[in-house]
Structure 1
Amino acid sequence: MIEKFEGVTVLTKANVYFDGKVQSRTVLFADGSKKTLGVILPGEYEFGTADRELMEMTAGVASVVLPGREDWQSYGPGQFFGIPANSKFKYRCDEPTEYVCTYFKD
């Protein structure tokens, strides 16, 4: 599980969604890649993607319905799931959760 990043730039402006229940910060790497570090408060949400994404859970447990599926799957710390570009997925949690999202330009 990712614990820290070194030699990065962190944008101070937060990405805020769903009336502040979902917040993240953008981390930029020297090679041009980008990640976000986020916190999601309890609730049920639907997110859309532009790029392909990999979400790694770092705290809490969330249930997710991935594109093309109908079943909820649970993910906890150290687990991850991928989301295709230009798609939507559902996310539900009963406790605060934290994640690291990696974006891929395909």
Structure 2
Amino acid sequence: MAATTKQPWCASSASCCSRSWGADAYRRGDEWWSSRSPEGKKEWKALVSTLSEDWIAAAEAGARPESDRCQDLARRHIEWLRAVPGTPADDHSTTTSRPKASESI
């Protein structure tokens, strides 16, 4: 993958992710994304969209960070980060399986 390409799971370019998290983290994330089927990619994007919409709705409703609503969103967000190899929340040394896009995130 070219160093300037942006993947849907990465908020910026490959060079930025490589500088922030390391080249190995970007490589693992890119391999994970590239190995997904078109349907899997579509499901993942829908999952991320729902999570983002839920965060926006909570903010617009004035939900406080310590509220059950925001704490549940934070839990879901961490689950989402753990599901992508190479993200800061991914602990590939102890995690052997990844949640499917259709799971509880």
TM-score by length of 1: 0.23
The structure with the greater share of residues assigned to strand is 1
Greater length-normalized contact order (CA 8 Å, ≥ 6 residues apart):
1
Q: Whose radius of gyration is greater, 1 or 2?
A: 2
The structure with the greater share of residues assigned to helix is 2
